[in-house]
Amino acid sequence: MKHLILRDLDIPNIADISVYEKNGGYNALRIAIKMTPDEIIQAVTKSGLKGRGGAGFSTGTKWSFLPKNIFPRYLVVNADESEPGTFKDRQIMERNPHQFIEGIIISAYAIQANDAYIYLRGEFPSAAECLERAIADAHARGYLGENILDTDYRLLITIHRGAGAYICGEETALLESLEGKLGQPRVKPPFPASVGLYGKPTVINNVETLTNIPPIIAMGAEAYAKIGTPKSTGPKVFCLSGHVNRPGNYEAALGSLTFRDLIFDLGGGVRGGKKVKAILPAGASAPMLTDAALDVKLDYDSVAAAGSQLGSASVIVLDEDTCVVWAAKKMTQFFKHESCGKCTPCREGTYWLARILERIDDGAGQIADVDLIANVAEQMTGNTLCPLGDFAAAPALGSIKHFREEYERHVREKSCWMRNGK
Ligand SMILES: Cc1cc2nc3c(=O)[nH]c(=O)nc-3n(C[C@H](O)[C@H](O)[C@H](O)COP(=O)(O)O)c2cc1C
Ligand code: SF4
């Protein structure tokens, strides 16, 4: 299959601007700049593209929410990529940066922004270098700066490097951090489309989302919408990791693969020929599934119907020898560490969840603790300022739902039989 997003897998050195141009690079911008901003927004809406950052919201619809006649307005790119098991945006930025930058230019033109900011995960120094070089080359060729392609449109792109907080991937905490403030989520509404960066209308999109824009313009919205399923259109990069033989990024049309295809055909199966015990479809932040979900299709609706979320499609596989109590504890400790502390259910809930899970994992738990965990997690769900509270409850709730007996056995035996080799 020809890749539309991970084009570096088909074309050596596509990160070089000359190679990118020789392979059709910046032609979509030439087409787009002759369209009106509204025509581009309509095309992106018609393409069915949904945001690839996790929430899966229609990109064209989000752009259309910007109020008319309020300027300046901004495009902010979410390149914070901090979800455990997610490493697709990094590959795009390091190996196919011009398609991403072309996507930013077309999108900024569509929303009539003259400034775009890339909020880049601080731990990605090589991505920062690749992007700095690509932006400088795009300037030199007239794709950025004043009078882009001899029109009166101008755009500057600024890279801002984060400082290592997972919560700064949440769009409003990201805006706070970009403004130089403490990275904590804002109360919504107002939404960033009306009151965003520096109080101005702002669109925030993920790296992979924007990398889909040049193919949409180049091939046309209708052709793009034929890729995937009617409700989950386009190509998607699936990040596969955990106990698999060939972890990595795999691009496929949404809905064209099942978990089984991804794990066994593309990922070479489970290490040591072991069985799949649990699947985390969206890193640590969506409820886990079991091997019963192996034949579920990888699109937004099918994974939701199976009881979880596709999110950013970072599929982590746990094999039959993994202790789920230990796995839930590790993920909960991560969320406790990353909670920004602004709201009580998340700040207190993550603390107590981690503490009870540690107790059970250490062999000091009681049977009543299992219900206590479920109770704390349920009270967090839907009651926090931002979705991190729900994310933090997911590992505990999902693991108890599918593996309650393992929790109870830890309590009865006062230890973990898997780690003790029994
Ligand atoms: C705690 C938390 C962390 C997030 N981290 C990221 C991230 O690293 N990258 C990302 O693109 N979106 C992340 N999101 C989702 C963003 O808030 C937002 O929905 C997304 O950037 C919108 O872009 P899209 O519409 O193109 O998907 C996160 C959300 C939450 C609640
Ligand atoms: S849910 Fe957690 S991370 Fe989100 S605002 Fe509340 S305390 Fe902060």
pLDDT band, residue 421 (cuts 50/70/90): low
pLDDT band, residue 419 (cuts 50/70/90): confident
Looking at the domain assignment, is residue 421 inside a domain? no
**Burial tier of 177 (Cβ tally within 10 Å: 0-12, 13-18, 19+):** buried
Looking at the domain assignment, is residue 419 inside a domain? no
- Catalogue the long-range contacts made by 235-238 (C-beta closer than 8 Å, 24 or more residues apart): 235/3, 235/4, 235/5, 236/52, 236/208, 236/298, 236/313, 237/5, 237/6, 237/52, 237/88, 237/91, 237/92, 237/208, 237/313, 238/262, 238/298, 238/313, 238/314, 238/315
pLDDT band, residue 418 (cuts 50/70/90): confident
* Average pLDDT score over residue span 259-276: 97
Residues 6+ apart with CB under 8 A from 355: none
> Do 299 and 378 lie in a common domain?
no
Looking at the domain assignment, is residue 315 inside a domain? yes
pLDDT in tens, 17-48: 999 999 999 999 999 999 999 999 999 999 99
Looking at the domain assignment, is residue 405 inside a domain? yes
Asked if 26 and 143 touch (Cβ cutoff 8 Å), the reply is: yes
> Do 303 and 337 lie in a common domain?
no
> Do 306 and 359 lie in a common domain?
no
Is the bond preceding residue 189 a cis peptide, omega within 30 degrees?
yes
Q: In terms of residue numbers, what domain contains 291?
A: 235-319
Cα 74 to Cα 143, 153, 183, 212: the distances in Å are: 18, 14, 19, 19
The finding on whether 106 has its CB within 6 A of some atom of ligand 2 is no
Domain of residue 353, CATH code: 1.20.1440.230
> Do 220 and 194 lie in a common domain?
yes
- Please, what is the average pLDDT of the chain? 96
> Do 382 and 266 lie in a common domain?
no
> Do 243 and 311 lie in a common domain?
yes
End-of-domain residue from the set 225, 249, 265: 225
* Average pLDDT score over residue span 232-245: 98
> Do 135 and 171 lie in a common domain?
yes
* Residue 169 Cα to ligand 1 middle (Å): 5
pLDDT in tens, 316-342: 999 999 999 999 999 999 999 999 999
> Do 114 and 176 lie in a common domain?
yes
Place of tokens 């020929």: 273
Domain of residue 239, CATH code: 3.10.20.600
Whose atoms come closest to the Cα of 165: which ligand?
A: 1
* Average pLDDT score over residue span 199-223: 98
* Residue 206 Cα to ligand 1 middle (Å): 7
> Do 158 and 12 lie in a common domain?
yes
Looking at the domain assignment, is residue 418 inside a domain? no
* Average pLDDT score over residue span 379-385: 95
Query: Could you give the number of structural domains in the chain?
Result: 3
In a mutational test of the pocket of ligand 1, which residue from 45, 62, 78, 80 has the highest number of ligand atoms less than 8 Å from its CB? 78
The residues pairing with 202 across neighbouring beta strands, listed in sequence order, are 74
Looking at the domain assignment, is residue 171 inside a domain? yes
pLDDT band, residue 1 (cuts 50/70/90): low
* Average pLDDT score over residue span 404-412: 94
End-of-domain residue from the set 174, 206, 225: 225
From 259, 266, 229, select the one nearest 245 (Cα to Cα).
Answer: 266
d(CA 359, CA 378): 19
Q: What are phi and psi of 157, to 5 degrees?
A: -115, 130
The finding on whether 339 has its CB within 6 A of some atom of ligand 2 is yes
Pocket of ligand 1, beta carbon within 6 A: 51-55, 57, 78, 80-83, 167, 169-171, 204-206, 209, 386-388
pLDDT band, residue 422 (cuts 50/70/90): low
Whose atoms come closest to the Cα of 387: which ligand?
A: 1
> Do 171 and 67 lie in a common domain?
yes
Domain of residue 146, CATH code: 3.40.50.11540
Angle of CA points 215, 221, 226, to nearest 5°: 90
The finding on whether 142 has its CB within 6 A of some atom of ligand 2 is no
End-of-domain residue from the set 277, 303, 319: 319
> Do 379 and 396 lie in a common domain?
yes
Residues 6+ apart with CB under 8 A from 422: none
> Do 150 and 67 lie in a common domain?
yes
